[in-house]
Chains A and B, each alone.
Chain A
Amino acid sequence: MSEALCVKNLCKTYVVNKRQNNVLKNVNFTIEQGEMVAVMGPSGSGKSTLLYSVSGMDRPTAGEVLLGGRRITDLKEKELAKVRLTSMGFIFQQMHMLKNLSIMDNILLPAYQAGKENRTRQEINEYCLALMRKLGISDVAENDITEVSGGQLQRACICRSLINQPQILFADEPTGALNRGASEEVMKELNKLNEEGTTIMLVTHDMKVAAKCSRVLYIVDGNIRGEFCMEEQENQEKLRERRLNNWLIEMGW
């Protein structure tokens, strides 16, 4: 199995009112191709900062990030934008979409922006519809973003993050703004995508969500304190949740 993401000695420091705040301190970890990894930790531990830094959304202060073997920490803004456009997908807690576009147009936007290097617009449209069908939102394709439910909107965000067939999918609290039913639907889709080979790294507070991942990283004060791996045979949901819960208690959750 090859490395999808490799993080070495990653540091991130903010200076607020002339005071230095070290949010990430020499973080090291690797995510293999096809893995689904959750990052957990208390509020203010640096989970989201870690996600934004490794995904190239934010520039780390030190260290390096290799995405599919390519060092992205030194890339220029323009190159980084291309990486975000073609090699990764991102799902946010809030369902951020352009209000003047329909659901389908919002999903198509990154694909059209990427151009037609490999695919024609016809093929992109068909792929988009296929994704929407797969995530069960094809019937709201032409709707405005205000005309659909939160769950549908988050699934549309997942479609948008997948439209350019990324190597890796990052998700920041993907179910954070959803009710229980919608959360389960979204997680089911993410699991399905992972089973089909998409690498996923997500940040969550929700143990149920983390329990669906193959590995959990626990971060405290900007350091990875521990790592929990689900065993292959642990396919019973309740059992996975219980084991994860015990581990989290051990970690001080």
Chain B
Amino acid sequence: MNFRMLRKDLRRKKSINLILLVFIFLSTMFIAGSLNNFAVIMNGVENFMDQAGVKDFLIVTMGEGSGELSENDRAIEEFLENQEQVKDFTVDDSLFLSENQVKMKNGKKVFMDSTGVLNSFPMKQQKFFDKGNQEITSVERGAIYLSQRMVEENKLETGDVVVIWSENGYEKEFQVAGELKDAFLGSDMMGIQRCIINEEDFVEMMEQGSLPYGRMYSISCKDSKAFQAEYNNQDFHEMFGADRELVKTTYVMELVIAAVILAVSLCLIIIAVIMLRFTIVFTVNEDYKEIGIMKAIGMPDASIRRLYMIKYFVLAAVGAFCGFAASIPFSRVLLLQVTEKIVIEGGSRGIFLQLLVSICIVGLIVLFGYRSTGKIRKFSPMDAIRSGNNGERFQKKTVFQLKNARVKTTTFLACNDVLSELKKYLVLLFTSIIGVWLVVMPINTINTLNSDGLTAWFALTDCDFYLTDEERVIELMAEGTKEAWYDFLKETGEGLEEAGIPVEKVCTEVFFKLRVRKGEKSYKSFTVQGLGTETKEYFYDMGEPPIYENEVAITHVVSEKIDAKLGDTVFITSGNQEKPYVVTAIYQSMNNMGEGVRFTESADLDYREVGGGFGTQVVLAREQDREKLSDIMEQAEELFPGSKVQTPGEFVNHMIGNIAGRLGPLKALTVAVVLAINVLVVVLMQKMFLIRERGEIGMLKSIGFSNRSLIGWQAKRVMLVLFFGIVIGTLTGAPFSQLTSGQVFQMMGASKIEFVINPLEIYVVYPAALFVVTVLACIIAMRRVKRVSVQEMNHME
């Protein structure tokens, strides 16, 4: 009997049951897919490191000669062998490549934009993965796996031939076998990128001896913090020397994308739960009439309740199963955006989590259903027939009075409905608020990352354009004198002047990795010295710019690490000589995860320890030249063929791995998801309202309301709620961006973030698009009003 009733119910109340089923399906898809993303992303980098086998501490050194162990390497090896915190360590040989040493077979240069390192396969240090997340198990002779950045920037494909050459005339051809997912050096923020070749090819290249030789040390520590403290007290020269935690933080830009996906996922979960509760409460209320009739004919409460619980269980099981199946591709689509650089662990664990979530949703629905039907015990048949209302009301329903209104009747009805039954519209209100947040956040992030003002976040001065010549920088580093850098700046300025481009200033920033100490606390920090600039040209959060050679400014991160405050004296070791410096200012920087010490131009530093230089900054002398900046940049490109010419925004964006460009498709995906959700919520809600309000609609038709007026009435309610939702969402969008992607910027070292807001985009274009699309969807959904006949009035409660 129960099953016959259930079958009849499912068939007869097709619309409402179908809506409930659709909501369960969507909610499961969103929740299961999003929770999986959440889990995967939160542990993503850590899992990647584990899968690759990256050890606790990593050191990269570069020697002068070929294949011979330098004094520095010998000292490091000796230190590692005797250090009590070291459990074990491995050493791999490396060869270093400059940008000009890799070209296509046709002679075209392969851009690298940072130092390249060549390793043989297999490596003791770690495992590698290919683009399809499969572990690389062999590299054929004559084959090369290139870094993901090299493949992407040069649009290389598997099978292309690249040539590695050196100045002594040695050349060797390699066929591209694919791109490399490299846990240690794969991040865009890492200044080194790696290629791997066959072991025999590597030995052959090392033996011919024209490429700089270096080593990579991977150390397993008993206590990596204690080891790091000991290591920092040594004066080794290395290209890179840090623990696994710092390597993880270089993936912070991936986290910007992950943060967007997480925020989307989190919001989807919130929307799904709200939707689910709303739908169940609504459908149970719809069933009250029948519950009343069953009570009236003497059916016991338990039997009635069992009947409805079976119904909700069947609907929940079917909806959740379909939602679980759909959540797998849904989750994959979102994660694809993150997996460009890291190997995301999906597989059976992810599917198990999604299945578990789907089962929980079935439980949740049954629980919602159980709670909602629980009230039937207390009700008399009359109460149940009245949909749970006993006819008593202690608050007036009417909010406005039509006789006082100066608006169209449909507008009045819409406003009055929304304000009288605000609870009914909360789902739509929250959905539209969250929808705007989700759209605003990636846009604000992209605009901020694209803005020229970002250079200030990286503690760089403002300029008109950057000239970057990696090869020249390596030469200057090899020369090892401050004068060589000044000569280079002078040459660049003169070259521009001769070409008819008057310049006000040509400057650069040179960086070092130096030990900074205050008392017992010491730290190897990224330090910079501007050449051709004054320290007062940079932003400082506290204090005054350093002026004298014994003054420095430090970042908040360094200040915390060594516990140094304004006015304190810190000791910095350069050229084996420790000198005292007074801290005069504290600033924020997103360079090297927020670490930094700024010297004055006059500070005496050992230029043999230079770690590199940022691009050459050019400030034009004439205002009119700025108006034709793109022409001047083209001219500069012709003048310096080995250099990359970029605007400040492009320079910084490039430095952080074109994250803004990668956020672009994600923005499009988010906008599409938000629009789809808004449309779905509105369409399904309107269908539910239509089922409940068919009596009112019939009555209004009977007194002469046309279909158009009725659609107008319904659409205006949605418009009103959407309008407020979008306004609230827009006004609170900036704090939401601050809470999500702002956190990632803070992880990078920026203590204060001011998002660049494009008012037209944020306050007009996207809110309007969201509004228009949702209202259109509502109007289309409401065309079903035409099918409601006057006789439906008898369904009025």
A contact residues around B695 at 8 Å (CB): 96
Q: How far is the CA of A101 from the CA of B794 in the complex (A)?
A: 19
Q: A102-B401, A113-B409 are in contact. Are A77 and B707 (CB under 8 A)?
A: yes
Let me know if A86 is at the binding interface, CB within 8 A. yes
Whether A94 contacts B796 by the Cβ 8 Å rule is yes
Whether B398 contacts A144 by the Cβ 8 Å rule is yes
* Among B412, B704, B786, contact of A84 (Cβ-Cβ < 8 Å): B704
Whether A85 contacts B705 by the Cβ 8 Å rule is yes
B contact residues around A100 at 8 Å (CB): 397-399, 413, 416-417, 420-421
| Stretch of A1-9, A36-44, A103-111, A194-202 that contacts chain B | A103-111
Whether B393 contacts A82 by the Cβ 8 Å rule is no
Whether A110 contacts B704 by the Cβ 8 Å rule is yes
A contact residues around B401 at 8 Å (CB): 102, 104-105, 142
B contact residues around A96 at 8 Å (CB): 695-696, 698-699, 702, 793, 796
A contact residues around B703 at 8 Å (CB): 84-85, 90, 109-110, 113, 160-161
Q: A77-B786, A144-B396 are in contact. Are A109 and B702 (CB under 8 A)?
A: no
Nearest A residue (CB) for B400 = A105
Tell me the residues in window 102-150 of chain B with beta carbons closer than 8 Å to chain A beta carbons. none
Q: A102-B398, A105-B398 are in contact. Are A94 and B793 (CB under 8 A)?
A: yes
Let me know if B403 is at the binding interface, CB within 8 A. yes
Tell me the residues in window 131-178 of chain A with beta carbons closer than 8 Å to chain B beta carbons. 142, 144, 146, 160-161, 164
Q: A94-B796, A144-B397 are in contact. Are A109 and B701 (CB under 8 A)?
A: no
Tell me the residues in window 683-715 of chain B with beta carbons closer than 8 Å to chain A beta carbons. 695-696, 698-709
Let me know if A18 is at the binding interface, CB within 8 A. no
Whether B403 contacts A81 by the Cβ 8 Å rule is no
Whether A78 contacts B707 by the Cβ 8 Å rule is yes
Q: How far is the CA of A142 from the CA of B401 in the complex (A)?
A: 9
Chain A, residues 216-253, CB within 8 Å of chain B (1/0): the string is 00000000000000000000000000000000000000
Whether B402 contacts A101 by the Cβ 8 Å rule is yes
Whether B409 contacts A58 by the Cβ 8 Å rule is no
Q: A77-B707, A94-B793, A144-B396 are in contact. Are A57 and B702 (CB under 8 A)?
A: yes
Q: How far is the CA of A97 from the CA of B797 in the complex (A)?
A: 10
Whether B409 contacts A81 by the Cβ 8 Å rule is no
B contact residues around A144 at 8 Å (CB): 393, 396-398
Tell me the residues in window 373-407 of chain B with beta carbons closer than 8 Å to chain A beta carbons. 391, 393, 396-399, 401-403
Let me know if A19 is at the binding interface, CB within 8 A. no
Report the minimum CB–CB distance from A46 to chain B (whole Å).
14
Please tell me the size bucket of the interface on A.
35 or more
Whether B398 contacts A101 by the Cβ 8 Å rule is yes
Report the minimum CB–CB distance from A253 to chain B (whole Å).
25
Best-surrounded residue of A82, A101, A114 (most CB of chain B within 10 A): A101
Whether A108 contacts B402 by the Cβ 8 Å rule is yes
Whether B708 contacts A78 by the Cβ 8 Å rule is yes
Q: How far is the CA of A199 from the CA of B786 in the complex (A)?
A: 30
Q: How far is the CA of A101 from the CA of B421 in the complex (A)?
A: 12
B contact residues around A101 at 8 Å (CB): 398, 402, 413, 416
Q: A57-B790, A100-B420, A109-B409 are in contact. Are A90 and B702 (CB under 8 A)?
A: yes
Report the minimum CB–CB distance from A245 to chain B (whole Å).
30
Let me know if B791 is at the binding interface, CB within 8 A. yes
Number of interface residues of B (CB under 8 A): 38
Let me know if A130 is at the binding interface, CB within 8 A. no
Nearest A residue (CB) for B709 = A113
Q: How far is the CA of A57 from the CA of B704 in the complex (A)?
A: 10
Report the minimum CB–CB distance from A103 to chain B (whole Å).
10
Tell me the residues in window 86-102 of chain A with beta carbons closer than 8 Å to chain B beta carbons. 86, 90, 92, 94, 96-102
Q: How far is the CA of A125 from the CA of B404 in the complex (A)?
A: 10
Q: A105-B403, A144-B396 are in contact. Are A112 and B409 (CB under 8 A)?
A: yes
B contact residues around A90 at 8 Å (CB): 702-703
Let me know if B234 is at the binding interface, CB within 8 A. no
Let me know if B789 is at the binding interface, CB within 8 A. yes
Q: How far is the CA of A98 from the CA of B698 in the complex (A)?
A: 11
Q: How far is the CA of A92 from the CA of B795 in the complex (A)?
A: 13
Q: How far is the CA of A159 from the CA of B410 in the complex (A)?
A: 20
Q: A57-B790, A58-B791, A94-B793 are in contact. Are A125 and B706 (CB under 8 A)?
A: no
Tell me the residues in window 705-746 of chain B with beta carbons closer than 8 Å to chain A beta carbons. 705-709
Whether B706 contacts A98 by the Cβ 8 Å rule is no
B contact residues around A110 at 8 Å (CB): 703-704
Whether A82 contacts B402 by the Cβ 8 Å rule is no
A contact residues around B398 at 8 Å (CB): 100-102, 105, 144
Whether B705 contacts A113 by the Cβ 8 Å rule is yes
B contact residues around A160 at 8 Å (CB): 703
Whether B397 contacts A99 by the Cβ 8 Å rule is yes
Whether B396 contacts A77 by the Cβ 8 Å rule is no
Nearest B residue (CB) for A108 = B402
B contact residues around A125 at 8 Å (CB): 403
Best-surrounded residue of A99, A108, A125, A164 (most CB of chain B within 10 A): A99
Best-surrounded residue of A77, A78, A112, A121 (most CB of chain B within 10 A): A112
Report the minimum CB–CB distance from A79 to chain B (whole Å).
9
B contact residues around A104 at 8 Å (CB): 401-403
A contact residues around B393 at 8 Å (CB): 144, 146
Best-surrounded residue of B401, B409, B412 (most CB of chain A within 10 A): B409
Whether B696 contacts A108 by the Cβ 8 Å rule is no
Best-surrounded residue of B696, B698, B790, B791 (most CB of chain A within 10 A): B790
Report the minimum CB–CB distance from A180 to chain B (whole Å).
22
Q: How far is the CA of A81 from the CA of B698 in the complex (A)?
A: 12
Q: How far is the CA of A188 from the CA of B706 in the complex (A)?
A: 32
Q: How far is the CA of A85 from the CA of B399 in the complex (A)?
A: 25
B contact residues around A146 at 8 Å (CB): 391, 393, 397
Q: How far is the CA of A82 from the CA of B708 in the complex (A)?
A: 12
Report the minimum CB–CB distance from B422 to chain A (whole Å).
12
Nearest B residue (CB) for A125 = B403
Q: How far is the CA of A109 from the CA of B400 in the complex (A)?
A: 13
Q: How far is the CA of A125 from the CA of B790 in the complex (A)?
A: 27
A contact residues around B794 at 8 Å (CB): 94
Report the minimum CB–CB distance from A6 to chain B (whole Å).
21
Report the minimum CB–CB distance from A93 to chain B (whole Å).
9
Nearest A residue (CB) for B789 = A58
Q: How far is the CA of A99 from the CA of B413 in the complex (A)?
A: 11
Whether A77 contacts B706 by the Cβ 8 Å rule is yes
Chain A, residues 42-85, CB within 8 Å of chain B (1/0): the string is 00000000001000011000000000000000000110011111
Report the minimum CB–CB distance from B216 to chain A (whole Å).
74
Whether A82 contacts B416 by the Cβ 8 Å rule is no
B contact residues around A113 at 8 Å (CB): 409-410, 703-705, 709
B contact residues around A161 at 8 Å (CB): 703
Whether A52 contacts B790 by the Cβ 8 Å rule is yes
* Among B397, B417, B698, B704, contact of A85 (Cβ-Cβ < 8 Å): B704
B contact residues around A92 at 8 Å (CB): 702, 793
Tell me the residues in window 752-797 of chain B with beta carbons closer than 8 Å to chain A beta carbons. 786, 789-791, 793-794, 796
Whether B402 contacts A84 by the Cβ 8 Å rule is no
| B positions within 8 Å CB-CB of A | 391, 393, 396-399, 401-403, 409-410, 412-413, 416-417, 420-421, 695-696, 698-709, 786, 789-791, 793-794, 796
Given contacts A57-B702, A128-B403, 16 further A-B contacts (CB under 8 A): A57-B790, A57-B791, A81-B704, A84-B704, A90-B702, A94-B793, A96-B696, A98-B700, A100-B416, A101-B416, A109-B402, A112-B402, A113-B409, A144-B397, A146-B391, A146-B397
| A positions within 8 Å CB-CB of B | 52, 57-58, 77-78, 81-86, 90, 92, 94, 96-102, 104-105, 108-110, 112-114, 121, 125, 128, 142, 144, 146, 160-161, 164
21 example contacts (A-B, Cβ-Cβ < 8 A) are as follows: A57-B701, A57-B702, A57-B789, A57-B790, A77-B707, A85-B705, A94-B793, A94-B794, A94-B796, A97-B699, A100-B420, A102-B401, A104-B402, A104-B403, A110-B703, A112-B402, A112-B409, A113-B704, A113-B705, A121-B403, A128-B403
Return the 8 tightest CB-CB contacts between A and B, nearest first.
Answer: A85-B704, A81-B706, A105-B402, A84-B704, A57-B790, A96-B699, A100-B420, A110-B703
